[in-house]
Amino acid sequence: MATSIGSAHDIRLRDGRTLRAYDAASGHPDHSDRVTVVWHHGSPQSGELLGPLVTTAATLGVRLVSYARPGYGGSTPAPGRDVAAAADDVAQLADALGVERFAVMGASGGGPHALACAALLPERVTAVACLAAIAPPTGGEAWYAGMASPEGLRAAAAGGREARARHAEDAEFDPASFTDADWAALAGEWAALGDDAAHAGQAWPGGLVDDDVAFARPWGFDAAQVRAPVLLVQGGRDRVVPTRHVDLLAAALPAAEVWRRPDDGHISVLGACPDAMAWLVART
């Protein structure tokens, strides 16, 4: 389990759910001159802030905020949620923290939820950065091509939440999903991410089920609705979310800037986080 960095906030949402949020700069006396970045975690993770992100935010003078999606951490599950639902949750999170405008950043399963905020909160989201983000489903086999373990998404697409939950009962992680560079990152700077993901997968399997169901069905918004500047970062050796997905996202977001890192996998691509966060600051 990751060591918690920053203050945790349990935010009561309008529908009665609780959203667990983290603010790396809660002790700062004045946030008015600071850019706020809302981080959208991968699948599965607890939503707690991770050291490399906090270090980068401190260097850049960013107020970094994160939250656990429904079903993870201390956030109330919301079975049947779609990707678009993240926008309203984040709007209420920002209201509770007194933040009017903010950038969003997400990795892997967090990428679609960051895009949802940009699409559905156009007056509030200043820019969006997505690393190794999954693309909207196409309904064809090409969407799965290159994935080391597409079975969970296939189950979600074919049978919804019940089928995806059955798959989770005996599913095991395939170590071949990660490259040597990924494993090196998990043994080094991003060790806390690996610990956090392992803990989250065991403690809150329903969160991952709901994520996969949301990814495999219509997202509830069109990527063409995004008007904020977009950065897409993709590892050329990614075996979890292969390069086909950044191609699909780039086609849907023709004004997006694309950084291709040919030697990176799904985890090692996070080495681009400092530059990506600086990119957000420059556009906010």
CA distance linking residue 218 with residue 213, whole number of Å: 10
CA distance linking residue 12 with residue 17, whole number of Å: 6
Q: Can you give the pLDDT at residue 27?
A: 53
Q: Is the pLDDT of residue 3 over 50?
A: no
Three-state DSSP state, 147:
coil
Q: Residues of the chain with pLDDT > 90: what percent? A: 94
Q: For the chain, how far is it from start to end, CA to CA, in angstroms? A: 32
pTM here is 0.95
Which has the minimum average pLDDT: 1-15, 118-132, 145-159, 235-249?
1-15
pLDDT band at 25 (very low <50, low <70, confident <90, very high): confident
Report pLDDT digits (tens) over 162-180: 999 999 999 999 999 999 9
